[in-house]
Amino acid sequence: MKKGLLNLTIIALSSITLLAQNEIDALRFSKDVSLGTARFSAMSGAFGSLGGEFSALSLNPGGIGMYQFSEFSFTPSFNLNSTTSYYGNKETDYKSGLKIGNIGLVFSSPRENSEWKRVNFAIGWNQLANYDGNIRIQGKNNTSSIADNILAISQGNSIDELNTLYSAPSFWTDLIDLANNSIDTTTNWYAHDNGNYISNVKGNSSKTQTKNIHSSGGKNEFIFSTGGSFNEQLYLGATIGIPTLDYYEKSTYSETNFEDTINGLKGFDLNEELSVYGAGLNLKLGAILRVNDNLKLGASLHTPTAYSIEETYSTSLTTNFNDTSFTERSNTNYFEYDLITPWKAILSASSLLNNNILLSADYEIVDYSFSNMHSSQYTFTDENTVIQELYTKTSNIRLGVEMNVKPFVLRAGYSKYGSAYVKKDYSQENYSFGLGVNNGGYYFDASYVLSQGNSEHLLYDEEYISPIALANTNHNLIFTLGFRY
């Protein structure tokens, strides 16, 4: 076995070291969900023309002009996520946790003898996405192995040219080997280091493939908003958003139960670890027009968010043979890049019926093919081309209803987020319910949100294996306590 022969430090890099930054990251960090305060969530975020709600300042900042009192709000939430995979076996995994959905402070400044009745300010933050989740995939495969993929990207490279994340660990743990690994006794090095490799896995024999993925983190937005009310008819506002990203993923891919193998290989585990941190900047402009006492219209425009992102990425590989095992760890790769997310435009309307029932609707347009990645270290030409070809413009709708049944306020909502993919329908639907108590000086709201959607996961290159279908279900319990003064 070569592991006992020598220990070589591999420093050469190849394009595969950039696998952590691709179109999947661009989509993940461009998408938002309708979370935040309990009232906002209970009506599925259909607040583009309602205003007077802190989470709506990340949607339509024109609503800040409707605050007639200063206000503080705080929102904890409990999340339970389940993901079911379909790869021969049907596997379901769960993850739960606590998050802070919102912390907000609004300052209202009434103005006498002025057409501008109020000029208000707000500061705080809203939750825009939750990345907590566990995925388990398991099934039989008799057509390919991830070793086939690693072998293909290794061919033609001498040992010291093998990429440090996959090929080099595979070579030094004997997952792949030189076609002729005889040693030159003069140099104590391989006599046939010519880039011609073989795999110790027979891809066309039966094997069990398993992958466990654990992810955590979220996207939150610090906001600074200002706006006012013009004669209680036109409400204008602007929000400067500073979103922050925190994403961590650790996965273990395994192949075991080989029907046929080479050199006594019993199985292997490939571990990958990814940490992502980032911060961005955007501007949101919004307006709400009170047409009459029963009808309001809203419109808002969000600029792209310009993110500065840093990532660390590493791998380790362990192979188990009949008589021994080997483990090889890659260096930790650090990379910086910038991401530009899409523009967003929102049109909204709301109506009050019988002074008791409030109906609201939002229509949102986002073009995910607009996303763009760039860096001084790498061109991202191929990745940006894939983004333009794979993603498309999508429409999102949000509907909400609120009914006053004293002493409670009852709420419900529905939203549908269209698929960002040109050829695949991976839309998401949210169903929400809630109630609240409001005595003027303080209020308490509670809501439940059920989110359902489909996605996919690719174990390795699509040339060798089809994507694995995933069904995602999210349960959120959200509570908001607020004070007015």
3-state secondary structure 180-213: CCCEECCCCEECCCCCCEEECECCCCCEEEEEEE
Structure tokens at 360: 């609201």
- The pLDDT of residue 34 is 73
- The conformation of residue 88, written as its DSSP 8-state character, comes to S
| 387-438 residue pLDDT tens | 999 999 999 999 999 999 989 999 999 999 999 999 999 999 999 999 999 9
Q: Confirm or reject CATH 3.40.630.30 for domain 2-484, answering yes or no.
A: no
The predicted pLDDT at position 33 comes to 81
Going from N- to C-terminal start, the domains of the chain cover: 2-484
CA 401 to chain centre: 28
**pLDDT (0 to 100) of residue 23:** 87
Could you count the other beta carbons within 10 Å of the beta carbon of residue 324? 12
| pLDDT of res. 20 | 53
pLDDT on residue 112: 82
pLDDT of the residue at 7: 31
SS (H, E, C) 266-300: EEEEEEEEEEEEEEEEEEEEEEEEEEECCEEEEEE
Q: Which residues of the chain have pLDDT under 70?
A: 1-21
Q: What is the pLDDT of residue 276?
A: 96
CA angle at residue 42 from 41 to 43, to 5 degrees? Answer: 90
pLDDT in the model for residue 114: 87
Q: What is the pLDDT of residue 18?
A: 36
User: What pTM was computed for the model?
Assistant: 0.91
Predicted pLDDT at 1: 54
Q: What is the DSSP letter of 458?
A: -
Contact (Cβ atoms closer than 8 angstroms) between residue 480 and residue 77:
no
Q: Coil, strand or helix: which one is 65?
A: helix
Running DSSP on this structure, what letter comes out for residue 144?
-
